Copies of this chain bind each other. A is one copy, B any other.
Amino acid sequence: MSSSSRHSGADLSAAQDRFIAAWGQMGSTWGISRTMAEVHALLYILGQPLCTDDVMARLKISRGNASMSLRALLDWGVVARVHKRGDRKEYFAAEQDVWALTQAILRERVKREIRPVLGALYEIRELTGGRAPSGESERAQRLGEHNRRVDDMIELVRTLEQLSAKLTELPPDALRGTASALQADNDLGEER
């Protein structure tokens, strides 16, 4: 019995649907709307460009929703426009390299979430002065501790930002290398 004969044509389609559902679920626990994640999953798992109508039909969503989701995915840089000769429709294709994908997502999340928070933290820090308080009064004491806490948080967020910057600047291949190293390292650890 050949390996492929064990699977009917329905299997592929079913697997695609499950993949889309799983990815949609995942997305919704991350600030990405379920539909947007599903559209991305669809484009990724099919591996071929689709037009708005294809997406609408397969996911059973409205034209407006499909349009919005595709546009957002373009903004995130995880989906690209594709033009087909002799066809006026626009087609959309998902990034197929999962590491490049991860970098794009990371980059976007840093830009949207880390940066603004860091800005707010700096402003907050300035409210209570740039230097350690001089006095030894209880109030000076408390002010000092407060500033220490804000500074700690700033350091943390800055570090996360820098870590992300490092990761997003690396070529995707480098990340793949890191991944295997991590993998090997971990396997070793478990055998001990």
B-contacting residues of A (Cβ < 8 Å)?
2-4, 6-7, 9, 11-12, 14-16, 18-19, 22, 25-26, 29-31, 44-45, 47, 96, 98-99, 102, 112-113, 116-117, 120-121, 123-124, 127-129, 131-135, 137, 139-140, 142-143, 145-146, 149-150, 152-153, 155-156, 158-159, 162-163, 165-166, 179, 182-183, 186
Contacts and interface: CB of A to CB of B under 8 A. Distances in A.
Interface of A is mostly: helix
Given A19-B124, A45-B149, A182-B166, A4 B143 contact: yes
A166 B178 CA distance: 13
A132 to B, nearest CB: 7
Contacts of A142: 12
